[in-house]
Structure 1
Amino acid sequence: MSDQPSRKKVWRYAGAGGFLVLALVGGGLVARSAAEREQATIAAENAVTNVSVIQPKPAEAGQVVLPGTLEAWNRAEINARVSGYVSAWRADIGDTVRAGQTLAVLEAPELDQQLAQARADYQTAVADRELAQISAQRWESLLAKDAVSRQERDEKHGQFASIDARARAAQANVGRLSAMRGFTQLKAPFNGVVTNRSAQLGALVNAGSAGGEPLFTIADVRRLRLYVRVPQTLAHSLAEGVRAQFSLPEQPGQQIDAVLVRTAEAVERRSGTMLVEFLVDNRDRQLRPGAYVDVRIPVSGAAGTFQLPASTLILGSDGARVAVIDRNGRVSMRPVTVGRDQGTTIEILSGVSAQDRIVLTPPDSLVQGDQVRVVRANTPKASNAKS
């Protein structure tokens, strides 16, 4: 009888031990499964890229710095109209001259002889014309008396007309050579400054020689033209009357005013730029034509344009793009049109709106359709800095 209770106890203890083993094994499996699920969740969360976003701001007025060239208001190269020898020059480089002032005198003995011959030919033609006129008048009187035929009278009138034409031609030739004789004195066409002189005493000057250096160069420097080529994206914001400032490389701190007076109204296809002209007052003659300057042109922000930090731009073979985040955290690579580069910021002409969320400093691995997590940026948003 004593063996039965002992056997029951053994089975009871064995059942309890088995249950304990099953509980331990089941708990381990449950804990392992929970750990695996947690690791999977962490791995999935780590696979999502954290990004910071920024919204576009309306473009603000700023300025653009472009190279320009100063040119004289008027500039003329004085060449010889007749061949001869330089007998005198009366102006040198840097001299201020007036309109009509003699710059140099040429000796042209061959021209003088041609003029003398032309005058003699003209006198001969005048004498022949007078004789032909008298003959025509006499034959007209004889025709009234029926002493000559009408045919003979008409021939005399024809001779007079022919000789009169030759006399007029001789007179025109005298006028032409007299005008050429006046070209032996080289004169300034307008008030200005002599910027170049190649005339030398006794030098032979050949009129009409191709590629020859001009004897004088005159420039009107009281006013200067400032030529600047502006990009096509800025052409719409420039109009007559816009004021700009420029500085010389040797005087970077001195700003000089200029006023826009005209534009080319056409974009050059090769460079994608438009030529504009500014007027510069130079009555003190401190500026020199031909100088290169840095021009600062104010530019107003056009409607519908925005500014973004330069770090948002993605440049590739497909052009400029930005990464836009939608409501579901998906990435959309959107092409944009870039305007002014202001260093820290870039002007965007099209492709974004004020409500878009743009990825700030997108990683290289970011592609279309990626799932991302938006986090707060560690650095403050870039402001719309003016260049």
Structure 2
Amino acid sequence: MSSEATIHSSQKLSKSGLRLAGIVVTVILVAVVVIGLITRATQASSLKTWTQEQAVPTVSVVVPEPGKTGSVLDLPGQLQAYTRAPIYAQVSGYLKEWKTDIGAPVKAGQLLGEIFTPELDQQLQQARADLASTKANADLAGVTAKRWQAMLGSDSVAQQDVDQRTADYTAKLAQMKAAQANVDRLEAAKAFARIVAPFDGVVTARDTDVGALINAGGGTGPELFVVSDIHKLRVYVQVPQRYGPSIRPGSNAVLMVPEYPGREFHAQVAATSNAVNTTSGTTLVQLQVDNADSQLMPGAFAHVRFNLPVDTTALRVPASSLIFDNAGLRVATVGEGDKVAFKKVNILFDYGKTVEIGSGLSAGDRVIDSPPDGIKDGDAVKIATDDATAKPHEKA
């Protein structure tokens, strides 16, 4: 009896242990499932939050600032002699000789060449003979008029006869003066057979030679010589209309020419045309540059650099902030609520790393530097810095 009771009691204990173990296992399984579900829900929520955060682009912003120095205006210019005189023939003939060639320095009145004028010489001889004839006739008429005037007192001649002799003398005297004027004219023309320099300078052209037929051109024929004063040079530059008011007489400029790389010549604005060319939209500016050593040559091309005054209304931003698409030239700014706001701008000057904006921006705007691709107006963005206002950008 005792062994059967013991066996029965052991069977009861085994069933109770199994039931307890089953309960424990079930609780553990339920706990594992609950923990797994909670972990997955937490991860999904974190992933959603991370995805939403990644969907908002992070941008860096800069604040546009006025430039500390004015822009530099580099324009092409043309050098010209301070004074240039093309010399034409005023009498016809043949070139007898020339005394100076190109590049020769000359003084005012120095002989450049001489024209042989046989036809003019004959005309002058005839004019002098005519003068001698009219002078003799005038002298005779004068003596006759005096005699008749003396006889009028003795009542031996009529007053009308005396008046006729006096009038004849006046006419002959006028003829003599006309003949004298003709001689003077031809002598003045003969003086132009000597071609002389009008001022101190350099012979920059000689377009004739010994024996060449010379026709009095009056400015329409070919130039015989060109004399230029190059101790100073004039520089002519076409300045865009916008910069015209900034370049006034007395302003300084730097001149550079290809034949002297790296060397600068200092010029000064002498005058402006005070008018805008309707074709090119530019204003003609004249500068002067000293050329005492004759290193610069008239007719040469030059680069002229103007240092313009600071434009306080213009703002500078990095060139990387510009967006150029089918909507035109724009910049992206961060507006209220950290939303993107595009603004159209125009460039005044390009400095390479930075650009000068003429209109479209305000000093307090927050400009996005290197805006992400695909950014649109009204998109939300996150500023990369903790400070809502970025530091001013570095100047170029």
Tell me the TM-score range normalised by the shorter chain: 0.7 to 0.9
Aligned mates of 2:332, 2:103 — CA distance in 1: 61
- 3-state SS in 2 of match to 1:112: helix
Report the alpha carbon displacement of residue 304 of structure 1 after superposing the two structures with TM: 1.8
Whether the aligned pair in 2 keeps the contact of 1:50 and 1:372 (CA below 8 Å) is no
- Per-residue CA deviations over 1:35-64 (Å, capped at 9, x if unaligned) read 79x86x888776666544322111232433
AA aligned opposite 2:66: P
Map 1:115-130 onto structure 2 (within 5 A): 115-130=124-139
Q: CA 1:210 to 1:79, structure 2 compared with 1: closer, same or farther past 3 Å?
A: closer
2:305 to 289, 293, 296: 296
Aligned mates of 1:116, 1:224 — CA distance in 2: 46
Q: What TM-score does the superposition give when structure 1 sets the normalisation length?
A: 0.78
Q: CA 1:288 to 1:231, structure 2 compared with 1: closer, same or farther past 3 Å?
A: same
Q: CA 1:129 to 1:384, structure 2 compared with 1: closer, same or farther past 3 Å?
A: farther
Partner of 1:20: none
- Per-residue CA deviations over 1:308-348 (Å, capped at 9, x if unaligned) read 22333445787654444432344544444432222222222
AA aligned opposite 2:227: I
Map 1:188-337 onto structure 2 (within 5 A): 188-208=197-217, 212-315=221-324, 320-337=329-346
Aligned mates of 1:331, 1:159 — CA distance in 2: 107
Whether the aligned pair in 1 keeps the contact of 2:63 and 2:392 (CA below 8 Å) is no
1:383 aligns with 2:394: yes
Q: CA 1:44 to 1:85, structure 2 compared with 1: closer, same or farther past 3 Å?
A: same
Map 1:51-66 onto structure 2 (within 5 A): 51-62=59-70, 63-66=72-75
Percent same amino acid among aligned pairs? 40
Partner of 2:5: none
Aligned mates of 1:317, 1:178 — CA distance in 2: 78
Aligned mates of 2:146, 2:75 — CA distance in 1: 80
- 3-state SS in 2 of match to 1:163: helix
Aligned mates of 1:286, 1:111 — CA distance in 2: 43
Of structures 1 and 2, the larger Rg is shown by 2
Aligned mates of 2:323, 2:177 — CA distance in 1: 81
- Per-residue CA deviations over 1:222-279 (Å, capped at 9, x if unaligned) read 2222222232333232233333323322332222222222222223232232222232
1:101 aligns with 2:113: no
Partner of 2:120: 111
Aligned mates of 1:364, 1:304 — CA distance in 2: 30
AA aligned opposite 1:183: F
Per mean C-alpha deviation after superposition, the further-off stretch among 162-171 and 318-327 is: 318-327
Whether the aligned pair in 2 keeps the contact of 1:49 and 1:371 (CA below 8 Å) is no
Report the alpha carbon displacement of residue 211 of structure 1 after superposing the two structures with TM: 6.0
Aligned length: 358
Aligned mates of 2:360, 2:64 — CA distance in 1: 11
AA aligned opposite 1:384: K
1:164 aligns with 2:170: no
- 3-state SS in 1 of match to 2:209: coil
Partner of 2:28: none
Report the alpha carbon displacement of residue 295 of structure 1 after superposing the two structures with TM: 2.6
Aligned mates of 1:366, 1:166 — CA distance in 2: 99
Aligned mates of 1:164, 1:364 — CA distance in 2: 102
Per mean C-alpha deviation after superposition, the further-off stretch among 89-98 and 139-148 is: 139-148
Q: CA 1:42 to 1:189, structure 2 compared with 1: closer, same or farther past 3 Å?
A: same
Whether the aligned pair in 2 keeps the contact of 1:69 and 1:228 (CA below 8 Å) is yes
Aligned mates of 1:172, 1:315 — CA distance in 2: 79
Report the alpha carbon displacement of residue 136 of structure 1 after superposing the two structures with TM: 4.4
Report the alpha carbon displacement of residue 118 of structure 1 after superposing the two structures with TM: 1.3
State the superposition RMSD in angstroms.
3.8
Aligned mates of 1:321, 1:360 — CA distance in 2: 12
AA aligned opposite 2:67: A
- 3-state SS in 2 of match to 1:58: coil
Report the alpha carbon displacement of residue 207 of structure 1 after superposing the two structures with TM: 1.6
Aligned mates of 2:283, 2:118 — CA distance in 1: 52
Unaligned runs of 5+ in 2: 1-32
Map 1:132-171 onto structure 2 (within 5 A): 132-138=141-147, 140=149, 145=155, 147-150=157-160, 154-171=163-180
AA aligned opposite 1:289: P
Whether the aligned pair in 2 keeps the contact of 1:337 and 1:350 (CA below 8 Å) is yes
Partner of 2:193: 184
Partner of 1:371: 379
- 3-state SS in 1 of match to 2:250: coil
Q: What TM-score does the superposition give when structure 2 sets the normalisation length?
A: 0.76
1:79 aligns with 2:88: yes
AA aligned opposite 1:100: G
Partner of 2:351: 342
Unaligned runs of 5+ in 1: 1-23
- 3-state SS in 1 of match to 2:263: strand
Report the alpha carbon displacement of residue 114 of structure 1 after superposing the two structures with TM: 0.8
